[in-house]
Amino acid sequence: MEEEKLPNRENKYINPGNGWYDFTTVPEEEAQVNYINYITGQKNNQKVITNTDIAISHLIRKGKNGEKEFALIETIVPSTIKREGYNGILLEVPFFALPSKDKLPYEEIVEIIDRGILDLNLYMEGNLTLDGEKTPIQQSFSDQCGQFFVSAVSDRKGESDSRLHWIPISELKSYINLQLNGGADNIHSSLQSLYALKLLQNKYDKELSLIPEQDFKIDKPVKGIQVVSQFQTVKNSPRFTIEDVVYADETGKKEYSTYAGSRDSMAVILLVKDEKKGEYNLILSKQQRSPFVENKELNNGILNEVVGGMVEKGQSLYDTAIAESEQEQGYKLSKEDLVLLAKPFIASLSAEEFGAIFVGFANPQNREEMKLDKDENSTEAISGEQEYVSLSEAASNLERISPAPIATKLAVLLANDYVQERKKEQDKAKKDESREQEVR
């Protein structure tokens, strides 16, 4: 195909409607935010991307055999087309744009979700919240927040939207595990959907324990998009660039999109064992995120975070996890101290960033002074004050660590799953060993 000249920036942003929202489109406003560093007291500024807040809602219905089904929707994400196995389409938990950055009443959000569900050729039968607070979607350069819900729905007369995939709830755990292991060709979801799926799993935990687990199977093929041309237009900061892309959908129709491109990233849940109680505490530190400094609900942009960072050229994910743990929280780790809980997957729908999640087992005796680089000292101001929170307590009540980004909340849930599973294995091994000794 011939390269196509992009239109003027002000005419380029497209929102096709009918429930299909291309969330890779970066809004026109790239705002300059001026703020006071809450540790140093210095005045700083940074360009940030203003995204619409969103309501993320699982659609749940009863299938023909009476089993609950949940829906994933095909969403265009041109920034992923360069990645092996990706075809420019993600399978996402449906999300709906909120018209205001202020906190909306529950009833208003339900009305917005209801209208979006009607656009998908479905009726909403009931709605409840899965996460009582706004959760920062991204921590570096976007001020977008999400609110999480689950909606009971039923089909209208005729077929539901052709982009919806209905999956039996008995396949939920299998689908989550697939994504944690890097997904499969043409079957990928973003971090925000994976977090939403974990919330859904927690909600139906008792019910799922009574249903035999099934392996995930896609109900119909996922078609891809084809990139016609793309090029970088703006370098906004050391963290990201703005790229324009022309792509063609499965019908050959050409569309335009703009997205923020950044390096891959990772997060580490650092755990310290409380020997007296026999449980793990996670280590949180407060960080000031400039995109959120004007958000009244997030208290001057200060979030509770775990170790995180972008992967430098020539570094592996493990290299970055080890380096960032020492820099940001002062703990020296080796590769043996780290367990990869989630392979890299899309960290944000507005970026080509791919994120991985680790759990790290830290020794308090190996803690030294943090070694923040100049950029972190001047712009992010990571606090040396650390809070130790019971991992199991945080996993059972995520509001305990709010406000925190999705990456942090998801990492807490995954780390707790890992620790609990490991404890079961150790208990079983002890019982087996005890039986062997009795036999002898």
Share of the chain above pLDDT 90, in %: 50
DSSP E strands, 249-289: 254-262, 265-274, 279-288
Using CA of residue 167, residue 173, residue 177, residue 180, what is the dihedral sign?
positive
Confidence band (pLDDT; 50, 70, 90) for 90?
A: very high
d(CA 281, CA 389): 5
**Residue 280 reports pLDDT greater than 80:** yes
The Cα 435–Cα 24 span in angstroms is 57
Architecture field, domain 262-425: Alpha-Beta Complex (3.90)
Of the two residues 346 and 29, the one the predictor is more confident about is 346
Determine the average pLDDT of the residues in 186-202: 96
The pLDDT value recorded for residue 351 is 80
Q: By three-state DSSP, how is residue 174 classified?
A: helix
CATH class of 19-209: alpha beta
Mean pLDDT, the chain, whole residue set = 85
- The long-range contacts involving 225-231, CB below 8 angstroms and separated by at least 24 positions, are 225/76, 225/78, 225/81, 225/87, 225/88, 225/89, 225/249, 225/250, 226/1, 226/81, 226/88, 227/78, 227/81, 227/82, 227/88, 228/1, 228/3, 228/4, 228/254, 229/3, 229/4, 230/78
Tokens of residue 235, six digits: 């370098």
Average the pLDDT over each of 3-17, 113-127, 200-214 and give the range with the smallest value: 3-17
Determine the average pLDDT of the residues in 238-249. 81
pLDDT digits (tens, 9 = 90+) for 126-168: 999 998 888 998 777 888 899 999 999 998 877 788 899 999 9
CB 270 within 8 A of CB 362: yes
Rounded mean pLDDT of 20-24? Answer: 55
Residues with Cβ within 8 Å of residue 436, at least 6 apart in sequence: none
| Closest by Cα among 255, 187, 188, 259 to 227 | 255
Contact yes or no for 271/391 (Cβ under 8 A): yes
Residue 23 tokens read as 């969330």
Length of the chain: 440
Percent of the chain with pLDDT over 70: 88
Element (H, E) at 79: none
Residue 188 scores a pLDDT above 90: yes
Judged on CB neighbours under 10 Å (0-12, 13-18, 19+), 284 is buried
Model pLDDT, residue 8: 43
Q: Pick the range with the lowest mean pLDDT from 28-37, 71-80, 159-168, 303-312.
A: 28-37
Instruction: Evaluate if residue 122 carries a pLDDT over 90.
Output: yes
Give residues with Cβ within 8 angstroms of 216, minimum separation 6.
Answer: 167, 171, 174, 175, 178
Question: Residue 348 above 90 pLDDT?
Answer: no
The yes-or-no verdict on residue 192 having pLDDT over 90 is yes
HSE-CB for 205 with a 13 A CA cutoff:
6
- CA dihedral of residues 390, 392, 398, 404 (deg, nearest 10): 50
- The predicted-structure confidence for 320-331, as pLDDT tens digits, reads as follows 999 999 988 889
Angle, helices 191-203/406-439, rounded to nearest 10 degrees: 50
Who wins on pLDDT, 302 or 8?
302
More confident residue, 69 or 26: 69
pLDDT, average across residues 118-131: 92
Instruction: Give CATH 3.90.79.10 domain extents, the chain.
Output: 19-209, 262-425
Across the range 249-266, mean pLDDT stands at: 85
Cα–Cα distance, 74 to 163 (Å, whole number): 5
